[in-house]
Every structure is written in C-alpha cells, then in structure tokens.
C-alpha cells in the first residue's frame, strides 16, 4: 500500500524536530521540585506505618535511668530464631525494711539483628516493656559482626545518619 502523502506542515514539523522539542519541554517543565512525586529518600525520611517493626531498643526507666529489663529471659525463650541472649545474675540487696533479699539482675544482653524477622514476639512477651521494636529501618552495615547488638547499643539505639547533597 502506498504511503499517504504528507502535508507541508508535517514535513516542516519533522524537519524542525518539533515533536522532540515538545516532548523535551514537557520533561523540563516537570524538573521543578514542586512537581516531584517520588520519595526523596535519603534526604527526606519516609514515614513508616505505625505498626512497622524495626530496630530493637532496650528501654530505660525514665525516672531512674536504669534498664527496665528484669532479666526474666522471656524474650529469649519466645524468639523463634533464638537470637537473643540474656545473661543474668542473682544479687543480694537490702530492702526499705532493712531485710536482705535476692533479685535477678541483667548482666548482659545481645541481639543478633541479622537473624531477626521482626515478628515482635519478644516485645509482646516482655512484662516490663523493656524490649521494643522501633520505627528505625536503617539497619544496613558493612561488617557482618556488627549485626550483633550489644546491651549498650540496644539502649543507645543507632544514630540516624544525616544526608546532605
Ligand atoms: S522480633 Fe521475632 S525474630 Fe526478632 S528477636 Fe524478636 S522474637 Fe526474635
Ligand atoms: S527484655 Fe523483657 S522479656 Fe526480655 S529479659 Fe528483659 S524483661 Fe524479660
């Protein structure tokens, strides 16, 4: 079948690359930041869902500043990945009536974030709300051994990096 004849307008448009220029104009028009539709992470941190479970944290008592963890070991037992290690000791103390009593205290706590599936069982069973999965999602690190968080790291949490252009 013979190709239909082009009008002089079509020929001129093709010669001057008008369609290409029109397309580029649309592209450049949407370069202004107000037309930005994609998430600007990491410059702008996305809001995660309220129920998101991320980096673990061992909470402190806001009044005393001491760990809320009573070393009951329930989180370690509940964890299907067996990645929490709670080391406890029994210490003697004198109560307000002057009686000597014994209590279990936390000696060490580690949490292997590389094996965690963030199921939340550990925080669900914790009787003192000590262990909590926070909304922090930046868990990437360079060295494999850094996946294991110490007690101190769990209390301090990870520092949120500040990204700049
Ligand atoms: S979130 Fe689940 S897998 Fe991770 S430590 Fe807690 S119980 Fe274990
Ligand atoms: S974090 Fe909670 S569940 Fe785990 S040992 Fe401490 S008090 Fe018990």
The model's pLDDT over 53-81, given as tens digits with 9 standing for 90+, comes to: 999 999 999 999 999 999 999 999 999 99
Q: What is the pLDDT of residues 92-146, one digit of tens each?
A: 988 888 899 998 999 999 999 999 999 999 999 999 999 999 999 999 889 999 9
Q: Is the CB–ligand 1 distance for residue 115 below 6 Å?
A: no
pLDDT of the residue at 164: 80
Structure letter (DSSP) for residue 34:
G
Question: pTM value?
Answer: 0.77
For the chain, domain boundaries: 56-156
pLDDT of the residue at 160: 77
pLDDT of the residue at 38: 84
Q: Is the CB–ligand 2 distance for residue 124 below 6 Å?
A: no
pLDDT of the residue at 1: 61
Architecture of domain 56-156: 2-Layer Sandwich (3.30)
Distance 83 CA to ligand 2 centre (A): 13
Residue 26 and residue 104: Cα distance in Å, rounded? 68
């Amino acid at each position: 079948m013979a190709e239909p004849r082009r009008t002089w307008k079509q020929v001129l448009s093709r010669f001057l690359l008008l369609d290409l220029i029109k397309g580029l104009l649309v592209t450049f028009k949407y370069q202004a930041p107000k037309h930005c539709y994609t998430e600007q992470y990491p410059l702008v941190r996305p809001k995660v869902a309220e129920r998101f479970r991320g980096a673990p944290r061992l909470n402190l008592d806001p009044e005393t500043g001491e760990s809320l963890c009573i070393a009951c070991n329930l989180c370690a037992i509940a964890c299907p990945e067996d990645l929490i290690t709670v080391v406890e000791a029994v210490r003697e103390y004198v109560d307000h009536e002057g009686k000597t009593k014994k209590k279990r205290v936390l000696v060490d706590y580690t949490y292997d974030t590389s094996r965690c599936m963030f199921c939340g069982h550990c925080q669900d069973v914790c009787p003192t709300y000590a262990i909590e999965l926070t909304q922090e999602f930046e868990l990437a690190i360079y060295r494999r051994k850094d996946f294991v968080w110490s007690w101190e790291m769990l209390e301090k949490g990870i520092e949120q990096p500040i990204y700049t252009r």
